[in-house]
Structure 1
């Protein structure tokens, strides 16, 4: 079985499977699981649970089934149960661990992190790295876990290893900067970003230079680089526009930010993240009606990745506008879709008094 938790007996079984196994079990014949995952993606939790129950009754692939049930539990905030199911999923895998097993271990470690069980999470990342010694993501995530237990030296070592495995990954460096800054090591984080600008990488794009400058607080430089990036033919425009607008917001120039977002959306309207940021910017200027329209336009695109933020921000816009009745109606919809959001629970209580 491919359980990666770092416990001596478990690791011996896992290594034995590596030596003796002939490959992962088949995951064919899992129609109910697939349907359940589709419901899960749409936040239809009761329907997803019913599908997983049907899959269990039909004897569908156990590893995939328990993994899927763990994802459902994780979404619902049932972290202890999620861990049990992820472990069952890994235990049901026979043979050489495959990509799905590694993904499941990442889910397992993340769930430990959400419970504040950082040592257990570190054990999982240790076991992943024992098999995948060049996994930059595992080093990065283990670094985050070590920061959480005040092992700053160990965290920085892991971050450095992650960066060495991905020398041109500037997004990774920004994530490390954010993590270090949030835990009281901003100078270490700034040193990483400054090194990016000083490394004379001839392949560093204007967008990447703009990103680094933005997080270093050099807003004028960031804006200059990002304006150049926006005019480049082969550059993906959405992330450039998002950050360019944020440079304006950061300097209090909301009219510039709104103009940047609206100009882009007039040409490429299929970007819920830009609608979301436009709406937030409009809230800041007191244009609550415009904000609602922006959030609704984003929601109309049906992006599961951004629907949660868009819906909550629309509720906020209605609250600021004093339309508590509509905010309350939308909050009921939100709470049904995201029942484990404790902040929303408190907001629902507040709305009930309006």
Structure 2
């Protein structure tokens, strides 16, 4: 293990030491909480100000450094983020909790973003030394190893992650996608095919539909998903999202639009479905309809989907030839997501329109 790996491991081991009450940590963190709220609302200058106030007022160093790391990570300043996450871990003086491990996952992700895969792997190694059955750590170490061109190590980690969660079909789909993107699609498909051939009696119609969809068996996927859509107690949104996409794959955009709109008329609180509806409408050449769909999704203020919805709305305006509005929204987008290099290039393109 390198010096860096030993340092991360030592920090994690320190987290396991129980200290007596009154260790001296200051757990006031009002400004840190405000900073995190500002980050969530894309108010980065305000977040920086809150963090500076937190430092002046002596708020908890572990939380302060972690929040600074999150801010820098959001801004794409991964080297600075890494420094702050390491400071946060070094400041830990109690029993490890979920937040401490979450910080390590942030740290490893920053290393991956910079292409520093061996260092990311060392972080996951350290996590797994303490949490020997952490499915997410095995999966993410597999991703880092795959990017580091260690196929066998990655496949071993993926296998361990799957063995720790026998019925986690979402995990298997993520592994399929990772292997496919790395050029090992046949291996990924074999994992999915095993899901169907294993004969799990508890496998739901939605799960069968998911697996069939990613295997490219669109007709089977549509059949299973239609059954799932009509089940009384199933979660309808993910079913509808995938069902519409089976129609899109087969070029039946009218069917897909009908599926999305029928669902949204009954339950409009789903930005992911507004986003997919808008994308479908773009493919149909209905740019005004797409803009409307993206705006309805954005109005729900769900941070998990806000970025995709805003970027896709810009695309819809571009296709419609409304470059003035596209430019205005791109300025808003770039302010909220300054680390998106693709958007930076798109902004340059728009400046010439």
Instruction: Measure, in 1, the Cα distance between the counterparts of 2:258 and 2:8.
Output: 57
Counterpart of 1:104?
103
Instruction: Measure, in 2, the Cα distance between the counterparts of 1:262 and 1:334.
Output: 27
Counterpart of 1:153?
152
| 1:341 positional shift | 1.2
Instruction: List per-residue Cα deviations over 1:199-233 (Å, max 9, x = no partner).
Output: 11111000000000000000000000000000001
| 1:342 positional shift | 1.2
Counterpart of 1:95?
94
Question: If the length of structure 2 is used for normalisation, what is the TM-score?
Answer: 0.96
| 1:339 positional shift | 1.4
Instruction: Measure, in 2, the Cα distance between the counterparts of 1:122 and 1:296.
Output: 40
Counterpart of 1:74?
73
Q: 1:25 to 1:236 in 2, by over 3 A?
A: farther
| 1:68 positional shift | 0.3
Asked if 2 retains the 8 angstrom alpha-carbon contact of 1:25 and 1:95, the reply is no
Structure 1: 5+ residue stretches without partners: none
Asked if 2 retains the 8 angstrom alpha-carbon contact of 1:180 and 1:186, the reply is yes
Instruction: List per-residue Cα deviations over 1:297-326 (Å, max 9, x = no partner).
Output: 111111111111111111100100011111
Aligned: 1:11 with 2:12: no
Instruction: List per-residue Cα deviations over 1:283-302 (Å, max 9, x = no partner).
Output: 00000000000001111111
Counterpart of 2:170?
171
Counterpart of 2:296?
297
Structure 2: 5+ residue stretches without partners: none
Q: 1:26 to 1:227 in 2, by over 3 A?
A: farther
| 1:343 positional shift | 1.0
Q: 1:169 to 1:22 in 2, by over 3 A?
A: farther
Instruction: Measure, in 2, the Cα distance between the counterparts of 1:136 and 1:53.
Output: 36
Instruction: Measure, in 1, the Cα distance between the counterparts of 2:178 and 2:24.
Output: 38
Question: If the length of structure 1 is used for normalisation, what is the TM-score?
Answer: 0.96
Aligned: 1:34 with 2:33: yes
Q: 1:234 to 1:253 in 2, by over 3 A?
A: same
| 1:28 positional shift | 3.1
Asked if 1 retains the 8 angstrom alpha-carbon contact of 2:208 and 2:224, the reply is yes
Instruction: Measure, in 2, the Cα distance between the counterparts of 1:95 and 1:70.
Output: 20
Instruction: Measure, in 2, the Cα distance between the counterparts of 1:7 and 1:259.
Output: 53
Asked if 2 retains the 8 angstrom alpha-carbon contact of 1:41 and 1:304, the reply is yes
Say how many residue pairs are matched.
350
Counterpart of 2:276?
277
Instruction: Measure, in 2, the Cα distance between the counterparts of 1:30 and 1:51.
Output: 10
Aligned: 1:86 with 2:105: no
Q: 1:323 to 1:14 in 2, by over 3 A?
A: closer
